[in-house]
Amino acid sequence: VIAFPIGMGAALFLAADARMSLLRGPLSFAIELLAGIPSVVIGLWAFFILTPLMRDNVDPFLEHTLGFLPFFQGTASGYGFLTAGVVLAIMVLPIMIALSRDVIGAVPRALREASLALGATNAETIWSVVLPYARVGITGAVLLSLGRALGETIAVTMVIGNRPEISSSLFSTGYTLPSVIANEFTEAVGNVYLGSLFYLGLILVLITVVVNVLARLLTWRFTGSEPTAA
């Protein structure tokens, strides 16, 4: 919800807008630099800067304007699913932008030029030609980003609140599968407790494998070449 519109917008500007040619190199470098930041550093930034910002500004605003929805009800502490979602969106943005940019850049130039020659504007060409042609590859890019988000551990653990309770509110604290394993593994006593964590790890691996394989197949279908190893 957060990463997709931002990532797609950035990818379209980088790949389909000729006016971005001078900025394409610096922006691509900045995206790669963001991808190289360790997750623990992003987690510390989120813990000390993003969490107070969400608690004092964003969460109260959402509760005031959208409080009639169950997703935006409850006590806004700054920790919880919403903050964790923002952190994950920041972390998967470089992957989504880079992959979507490559997919959009692979659209044949002749198709774009033919659309422009028929009188379509640049925006109409993107909406009617580029995006429909690249939709399979874009779906693969989104799924690869989802696979990255599913396995993220430390940054999410630092801001999600780590409470074993399911709630419909985005302000509520909770758990993800990786954060459960990270928090509970050192305290696991007995075979049942330890075995439960291993089963959670197996479920996480299976979900990640399915998502990544599906994403690779979609990317392969679009590019027409064999997908690289994950």
CATH number at residue 76: 1.10.3720.10
Q: Which range marks the domain in which residue 100 is found?
A: 3-223
pLDDT profile of the chain (230 residues), mean per 10 = 87 72 76 86 93 91 88 85 92 89 86 87 87 87 87 89 84 89 83 89 92 82 51
The helices-and-strands tally (H runs, E runs) of the chain is: 12, 0
Q: Of 106, 102, 112, give the one whose Cα is nearest residue 28.
A: 102
Establish if 201 belongs to a structural domain. yes
Residue 65 has a CB neighbour count (10 Å cut-off) of 10
Look at the chain and report how many structural domains it folds into: 1
pTM score: 0.82
User: If you ran DSSP here, which 8-state letter would residue 171 be given?
Assistant: T
Three-state secondary structure string covering 131-170 = HHHHHHHHHHHHHHHHHHHHCCCHHHHHHCECCCCCCCCC
Q: How far apart are CA 141 and CA 156, in angstroms?
A: 22
Establish if 229 belongs to a structural domain. no
Residue type, 188: A
Establish if 165 belongs to a structural domain. yes
Establish if 174 belongs to a structural domain. yes
- CA torsion through residues 99, 6, 124, 127, sign: positive
Q: Inter-axis angle of helices 3-16 and 131-150, to 10 degrees? A: 130
Cross-strand partners of 174: 161
Establish if 32 belongs to a structural domain. yes
User: If you ran DSSP here, which 8-state letter would residue 174 be given?
Assistant: B
Q: Note the pLDDT of residue 18.
A: 54
Question: Could you tell me where the DSSP H helices lie in 71-130?
Answer: 81-105, 109-117, 122-125
Establish if 153 belongs to a structural domain. yes
Residue 52 has a CB neighbour count (10 Å cut-off) of 11
Q: Note the pLDDT of residue 228.
A: 42
Establish if 20 belongs to a structural domain. yes
Q: How far apart are CA 218 and CA 133, in angstroms?
A: 13
- CA torsion through residues 139, 144, 148, 150, sign: positive
Q: How far apart are CA 164 and CA 175, in angstroms?
A: 6
Q: Note the pLDDT of residue 229.
A: 39
Establish if 63 belongs to a structural domain. yes
Burial degree of 117 (CB within 10 A; 0-12, 13-18, 19+): exposed
